[in-house]
Amino acid sequence: MAYSDKVVDHYNNPRNIGSLPKEDPDVGTGMVGAPECGDVMKLQIKVKDETIVDAKFKTFGCGSAIASSSLATEWLKGKTLQEAQKIKNTDIVQELNLPPVKIHCSVLAEDAIKAALADYRKKAGKGE
């Protein structure tokens, strides 16, 4: 199974690897997947005025999983929370040319985005 050039690119030059401080009130953290499944994604967003100003990820998983989460952080930066909620796994599949057997990687990335958004909202809700 040969990888698409885009997947290879994200793998060799991942965008936004790293971590944001979890305890910050303007940071939302999504952690999805499980080691037994071979896929774990941690995706974090930093939000200011309802807009995502920074995003970081770390992934335990195959090349397609790494690429999906890397792409997700790329897309999230600059989007409003509402826009981010609309990102679909199918967009990721199309952008990366993921074969059928790797579609679940994009689904996990979408889950990670939604989990990060939900975590931020929960924190923000608890605030004022």
Partner 1 sequence: MKLPIYLDNHATTPMDPRVLEAMLPYFTEKFGNAASRNHAFGWEAEEAVEQARKQIARLIHADPKEIVFTSGATEADNLAIKGVMEMYREKGDHLITSVTEHRAVLDTAKALEAKKLLRVTYLPVDKHGMVNPEDVRKAITDKTILISIMFANNEIGTINPVKEIGKIAKEKGVLFHCDATQGVGKVPVNVQEMGIDLMSFTAHKIYGPKGVGALYVRKKAPRVRLVAQMDGGGHERGMRSGTLPVPLIVGFGKACELCEQEMAPEAARLAALRDRLQEGIMKGLDEVYLNGHPTQRLPHNLNVSFAYVEGESLLMGVKEIALSSGSACTSATLEPSYVLRALGVGSDLAHSSIRFGLGRFNTPEEVEFTIKRIIDTVTRLREMSPLYEMAKEGVDLKTVQWTVH
Binding site for partner 1 (CB under 8 A): 3, 8, 11, 14, 17, 19, 31-42, 58-66, 101, 104, 107-108, 111, 115
Q: Is 62 assigned a catalytic role?
A: no
Spatial distance between the Cα atoms of 48 and 104, rounded to a whole number of angstroms: 31
| Least spacing, CB of residue 94 vs partner 1, in Å | 20
Non-local CB neighbours of 76 within 8 Å, separated by 6+ positions: 45, 52, 55, 84, 87, 113
| Least spacing, CB of residue 9 vs partner 1, in Å | 12
Catalytic residue, candidates 37, 50, 94, 118: 37
Residue 1 vs 48, nearer CB to partner 1: 1
Instruction: List phi, psi (to 5°) of 88.
Output: -110, 150
Catalytic residue, candidates 27, 71, 96, 105: 105
Spatial distance between the Cα atoms of 105 and 93, rounded to a whole number of angstroms: 9
| Least spacing, CB of residue 128 vs partner 1, in Å | 28
Q: Name the token pair of 91.
A: 């967009």
Residue 37 vs 53, nearer CB to partner 1: 37
Q: Name the token pair of 90.
A: 């199918």
Residue 34 vs 126, nearer CB to partner 1: 34
Spatial distance between the Cα atoms of 82 and 85, rounded to a whole number of angstroms: 5
Q: Which residues are catalytic?
A: 37, 105
